[in-house]
Structure formats: structure tokens, C-alpha cells
Amino acid sequence: MPTDSRLLGNLSVLVAVVDTGNFARAAEALNLTPSGVSRAVSRLETRLGVRLLHRTTRSVTLTDEGERLYAQAGPLLSSLEDAALSAAGDAQTVRGRLRVSLDPMFSWQVVAPRLHEFLSRYPDLQMEIVTRDELGDLIAEGIDVSVRFCEPPSSSLVARKLLDTRVLTVAAPAYLAANGTPKTPADVATHRCIQFRDPATRRPFDWEFHRRGKVLAVQTEGPLLVNDSGTMFSVCLAGAGIAQVLAVSVRDAIADGRLVELFPEWNGETFPLYAFYPSRRHAPPKVRAFVDFCVELAGERGA
């Protein structure tokens, strides 16, 4: 079977459908109509003589034949795209639409203040930022790269660690003035503690204090349970209670006195920050550029 431009084009459409999760998002990414995407996949199926996708009103999934084709064609098409962009010059390799999902605090405190620099480097790039605490399904939602404070899940996603950041216990000066300053970690059991819900278990995170290998667990209570790190940061700043937070997110607030770190000798617990993106032999240039940018920012912030 001779290879021609139409076959490669139809293969590219199939890969886009799988990567984005449905025909509508693939059409948006490729600047086509959904019907045009559907016709391209149908032409490919006719050309190969096999059914590649199971179609329903809500989703599309690969058949066994489609799985084998996608596994072989995806990396090859990505390499061809990288080679073509490289031939056009390094300044032109990062282009198109980049959809990223970010931890809210990392987006607000770290990425947003410097995002203009990234966009200035790559004027042919358009970005969409989604903020949330959960990783979600990157492929089904058409997410190119996600940055999360979590351990890597068991999946086909590529995971690149950006940093390990310390877990700090903090409170606003106003709260401490009104309620007193706890002297030891055990003292927080009698204070108003802002609880943060673990997105994996849907239960509040347990409070622990780490020092030179010793772990002290403390039962805490408080009237407020949140599932958004930005909200927790804001209510803590307002004096609502004591919170356990990640150092990379509150460095500036501690430095300028808006928050006070309690028990600095008990801040040995760390939490990882990872960038995740769908597994391929070569990540698209726009994904590599954004991940490298996050590595740069994380390095500047430290742990």
C-alpha cells in the first residue's frame, strides 16, 4: 500500500481524536469541523479495511486494531512534526494551542506572575489554563500537560518531578494575637485548624509533624474544610485559623510577615510537585517548552 499525504493526514486526525478524547475537541485542535474529522477517520478505516474506533454519543474508544495502529503511528507522527518544525527553525517550533491544568496555588503564586515571560518567548503559542486540585483524565479532557502536588499515579502518563517542597504550619499574626501562639505541635489540637480535603480519599489530610526522622501525628479540629488551596491560603491570611501549607506557595507571605511559620524545627515533611503529560516517544515542542519553564520557576522558588 503506497503512503500518500492523505493517508498521513487521516492518521494525524485519528491520533488527535484519541489524544483529545472526542471528535469535537480534535476538530478544535486541528481547525476542522467535527464532520470533517469524522469523515477523515472513516476514510482511514475504509483504506485499511478495519474498524478503528468504537463510537458512542458520549465518547470514542479504540478497537484492538486501532490500539495497535495508534501505538505505532502516534510516536512516528510526533517525530515527523518535530522534524518539520525543527527544519523551520528553533524560533518556530513552539506554536499552536497549549492547554494546561495547574494546581491553583502553583498557578496563582508561581506561574501567573511570570507567564508573560513565557508567552513573550513563543509569540506563536496560544494557551488555555485550567486550575484544579485533581489530576483528572488528561487525554479525555484534551490537556497537554498538568502540574500537580501529588505522587505519580499508576498510569501511562509521563511524570517529571519539578521539586520537593516542605510542609509548613502557619497562621496569620491576627489569629495568633487573638488566640495565642502554640508552643509545641501538640498544642494545635486546641486551636482552630483549617482542614484540607485530600482529593484522592475525599477525607481531610491528617496533620503530621516531621523532625529528623521522627513523625508526630496530631488530631486537629476546626469548623472549616476546604478543597481548594487558594481558598485555604486566603482564609488563613484573614486569620481564620492555623493551616498546613506547602512552602513553595507561601514563601512570599512568610517573608513579608503576612504569615508566621510555627514550629520551624518540625518542618521535615516534604511533598512532590510533578508535571504530567500523555506518554509519547517525543513530547510536542510546546509541552517540552512549558515543562522546562516550570522547572525554571521551581528551581528559583526552591523547596
Question: What is the dihedral angle through the alpha carbons of 11, 16, 22, 28, rounded to the nearest 10 degrees?
Answer: -120
Query: Residues 184, 248: one domain?
Result: yes
Give me Rg for the CA atoms of the chain: 23
Query: Residues 80, 116: one domain?
Result: no
Looking at residue 78, its pLDDT comes to 63
Burial 55-90 (b: 16+ CB within 10 A, else e): eeeeebebeeebeebbeebbeebbeebbeebeeeee
CB 230 within 8 A of CB 108: yes
- As beta bridge partners, residue 146 has 101, 276
Query: Residues 21, 142: one domain?
Result: no
Looking at residue 28, its pLDDT comes to 81
Comparing CA positions, the residue from 243, 237, 247 lying closest to residue 220 is: 243
Grid coordinates representing 1? 500500500
Q: What is the DSSP letter of 190?
A: G
Query: Residues 189, 286: one domain?
Result: no
Cα separation, 230 vs 107, in Å, equals 10
The CATH number that applies at residue 19 is 1.10.10.10
Q: Residue-wise pLDDT tens for the chain (303 aa)?
A: 445 667 888 888 888 888 777 888 888 878 888 888 889 999 989 988 889 888 876 678 888 888 888 877 766 766 666 555 555 555 447 888 899 999 888 898 889 999 999 999 999 899 999 988 778 778 777 888 999 888 887 677 888 898 888 999 999 999 999 999 999 999 999 999 999 988 777 888 899 999 988 999 999 999 999 988 888 999 999 999 999 999 988 888 999 999 999 999 999 888 899 999 886 545 788 998 999 999 898 887 665
Does the pTM exceed 0.75? no
CB 166 within 8 A of CB 267: yes
Query: Residues 292, 218: one domain?
Result: no
Looking at residue 1, its pLDDT comes to 43
Cα separation, 26 vs 143, in Å, equals 12
**Considering 42, 72, 88, which residue would you say is the last residue of a domain?**
88
Query: Residues 254, 129: one domain?
Result: no
**Considering 69, 88, 107, which residue would you say is the last residue of a domain?**
88
Query: Residues 181, 210: one domain?
Result: yes
Cα separation, 73 vs 77, in Å, equals 6
Cα separation, 243 vs 192, in Å, equals 9
Query: Residues 227, 149: one domain?
Result: no
Q: Which domain holds residue 239?
A: 164-271
How many domains are contained in the chain?
Answer: 3
CB 205 within 8 A of CB 218: no
What are the distances in angstroms from CA 35 to CA 41, 53, 137?
10, 15, 25
Query: Residues 184, 226: one domain?
Result: yes
The CATH number that applies at residue 142 is 3.40.190.10
Looking at residue 179, its pLDDT comes to 97
Looking at residue 151, its pLDDT comes to 81
CB count within 10 Å of CB 296 equals 14
Query: Residues 201, 259: one domain?
Result: yes
**Considering 63, 88, 113, which residue would you say is the last residue of a domain?**
88
Query: Residues 108, 20: one domain?
Result: no
Query: Residues 192, 254: one domain?
Result: yes
Question: What is the dihedral angle through the alpha carbons of 271, 277, 279, 280, rounded to the nearest 10 degrees?
Answer: -130
